């Protein structure tokens, strides 16, 4: 699922403002055998993580930044995909305003905390259906004509060598 989300379009709708962007980088988090997964080190505390795929899993890290994940498994089997970077397509001024930057700022939605800030995603979105409503992920708006690269996840301290991070090769919006 982490590879399949590359090229899909993340859309938010709030108070008449639409923001949209192409997903360009993701990370997979698996079940209890993945030491970096909430299923391994916070078992039972995140019931939604074990829910039906197609719903948002949003939580706060370091007491500062929201992280947005798409639940990717069937009910009872934990697994999600962290959205790490998005190429802004629509509503760029709104994204820039939310981030306190200019619309021309490079990497406006690069990095998990920047994605949620730019798109106005908060913990209030935890559990929403990603197929309808305020926060959605839609199929690619253009054919997937890109190469996917894979490597270890970043910004974590557990299971750091697993190659579960995926990105569109040479994409300038990829996080660093």
The CATH number that applies at residue 30 is 3.10.300.10
Q: pLDDT per residue over 123-163, tens digit each? A: 999 889 999 989 999 998 777 889 999 987 677 666 667 78
Number of domains the chain contains: 1
Q: Is residue 3 part of a domain?
A: no
Least confident interval from 37-51, 73-87, 89-103, 141-155: 37-51
The larger pLDDT score, comparing residue 155 to residue 11, is at: 11
Q: Is residue 174 part of a domain?
A: no
Percent of residues in the chain assigned helix, strand, coil, to nearest 5: 15, 35, 50
Q: Is residue 160 part of a domain?
A: yes
**What pLDDT does residue 35 have?**
45
Give the structural domain span for 16: 9-168
In whole angstroms, give the CA distance from residue 149 to residue 2: 12
On average, the pLDDT of the chain sits at: 84
Q: Is residue 173 part of a domain?
A: no
Q: Is residue 175 part of a domain?
A: no
The larger pLDDT score, comparing residue 19 to residue 151, is at: 19
Share of the chain above pLDDT 90, in %: 48
Q: Is residue 40 part of a domain?
A: yes
């Amino acid at each position: 699922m982490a590879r399949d989300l590359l090229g899909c379009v993340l859309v938010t709708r709030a108070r008449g403002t639409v923001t949209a962007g192409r997903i360009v980088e993701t990370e997979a988090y698996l079940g209890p055998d993945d030491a970096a997964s909430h299923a391994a080190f916070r078992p039972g505390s995140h019931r939604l993580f074990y829910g039906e795929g197609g719903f948002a899993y949003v939580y706060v890290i370091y007491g500062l930044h929201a992280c947005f994940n798409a639940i990717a498994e069937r009910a009872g089997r934990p697994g999600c995909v962290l959205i790490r970077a998005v190429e802004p397509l629509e509503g760029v001024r709104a994204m820039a305003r939310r981030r306190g930057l200019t619309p021309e700022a490079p990497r406006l939605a690069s990095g998990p905390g920047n994605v949620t800030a730019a798109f106005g995603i908060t913990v209030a979105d935890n559990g929403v259906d990603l197929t309808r409503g305020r926060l959605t992920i839609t199929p690619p708006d253009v054919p997937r004509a890109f190469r996917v690269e894979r490597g270890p996840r970043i910004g974590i301290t557990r299971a750091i060598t697993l190659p579960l991070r995926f990105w569109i090769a040479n994409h300038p919006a990829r996080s660093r």
